[in-house]
């Protein structure tokens, strides 16, 4: 893995002043349908995505996490309640909140560099400053040697890094990530955890990260939001007071990490049991995995 601090000359001068925002979700509910066919997906949900923190949300599959992402991004509006960025209500999409989705959104006909430059160019800002910033980010995510490659020529991990850079060049107040490493193999996923954590630790941009992987959640989070079974609301908030920078090799020997994992798994198991009683296949899979978990804790 490339040194995250390896920068030089003009590229280093392109480093931006990072914007960081805070999102408050207050008594938010979201329903679909009408009358007898109404389905509540989110119900009376409240939490804060704190400024300069990496907040991670974890919950049972199908509990409403993706709906909350669409609400935070402004793609949809709550049925009731409010969502505000720095005290100002969110009424629609905006470049102050950018989402990195599960599926790759890179344009296959564009090079890595052109994908990263897409935002500035779409706004008519193809300036020297933007080009310097693109070079800076290519170096930060370790893709300088791949700037002229197309997405199909990149590994899954490289594509994820390119998408992070494409979001970061727009300098959003809040980065929102929806299980961005889900499709990677185990080794690539752990490398991306360290890479992404390093980018966050350097910039301290406000990040909101959604996952179903408990190890990923604990490794990355400053604060962990554990969600209920659908309709979604926050069941518990856990502070992950593990020193940064973090390394995978150190995580599983950390007593605090093991304590949080036991507590989080217990809460998730309770919520999965509720979902299982309703016939959820995802909940059944979680319960089976939970029953086989390694119970050796230091």
Residue 168's domain comprises 9-291
- Cβ neighbours of 254 (radius 10 Å): 17
Q: Which residues pair with 232 in a beta bridge?
A: 42
Establish if 298 belongs to a structural domain: no
What is the reported pLDDT for 153?
96
Rounded to two decimals, what is the model's pTM?
A: 0.85
Establish if 2 belongs to a structural domain: no
Q: Kindly state the DSSP code that residue 94 receives in the 8-state scheme.
A: B
Establish if 165 belongs to a structural domain: yes
Establish if 53 belongs to a structural domain: yes
Give the number of domains in the chain: 1
pLDDT averaged per 10 residues, the chain (length 298): 41 60 96 88 96 94 89 96 96 92 90 96 92 93 95 93 92 93 86 90 93 93 93 94 86 85 89 64 56 52
Contact partners, residue 177, CB within 8 Å, separation at least 6 = 99, 100, 207, 208, 209, 210
β-pairing verdict for 23-32 and 39-49: antiparallel
What is the reported pLDDT for 282?
56
61 neighbors 42 (Cβ within 8 angstroms) = no
* CATH code of the domain containing 207: 3.40.50.300
Backbone dihedral angles phi then psi of residue 90, each to the nearest 5 degrees: -85, 120
Establish if 27 belongs to a structural domain: yes
Q: Which residues pair with 174 in a beta bridge?
A: 97, 206
Establish if 1 belongs to a structural domain: no
**Nearest residue to 268 via CA among 217, 203, 209, 208:** 217
What is the reported pLDDT for 119?
92
Establish if 257 belongs to a structural domain: yes
Establish if 187 belongs to a structural domain: yes
């Amino acid at each position: 893995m490339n040194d995250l601090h390896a920068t030089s000359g003009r590229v280093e001068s392109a480093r931006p002043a990072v914007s960081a925002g805070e999102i408050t979700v207050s008594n938010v509910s979201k329903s679909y349908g009408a009358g007898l066919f109404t389905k509540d997906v989110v119900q009376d949900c409240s939490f804060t995505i704190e400024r300069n923190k990496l907040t991670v949300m974890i919950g049972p599959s199908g509990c409403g996490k993706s709906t909350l992402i669409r609400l935070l991004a402004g793609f949809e509006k709550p049925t009731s309640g409010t969502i505000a960025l720095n005290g100002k209500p969110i009424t629609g999409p905006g470049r102050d909140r950018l989402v990195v989705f599960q599926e790759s959104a890179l344009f296959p006909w564009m090079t890595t560099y052109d994908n990263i430059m897409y935002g500035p160019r779409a706004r008519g800002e193809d300036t020297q400053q933007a080009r310097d910033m693109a070079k800076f980010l290519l170096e930060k995510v370790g893709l300088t040697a791949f700037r002229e490659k197309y997405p199909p020529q990149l590994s899954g991990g490289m594509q994820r890094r390119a998408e992070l850079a494409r979001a970061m060049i727009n300098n959003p107040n809040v980065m929102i990530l929806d299980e961005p490493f889900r499709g990677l193999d185990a080794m690539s996923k752990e490398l991306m955890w360290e890479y992404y954590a390093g980018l966050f630790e350097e910039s301290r941009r406000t990040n909101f990260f959604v996952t179903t992987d408990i190890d990923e959640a604990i490794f990355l989070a400053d604060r962990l939001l554990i969600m209920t079974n659908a309709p979604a609301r926050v069941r518990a908030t856990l502070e992950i007071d593990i020193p940064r920078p973090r390394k995978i090799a150190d995580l599983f020997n950390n007593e605090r990490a093991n304590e949080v994992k036991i507590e989080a798994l217990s809460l998730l198991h309770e919520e999965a049991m509720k979902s299982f009683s309703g016939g959820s296949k995802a909940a059944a899979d979680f319960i089976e995995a939970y029953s086989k978990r390694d119970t050796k804790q230091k």
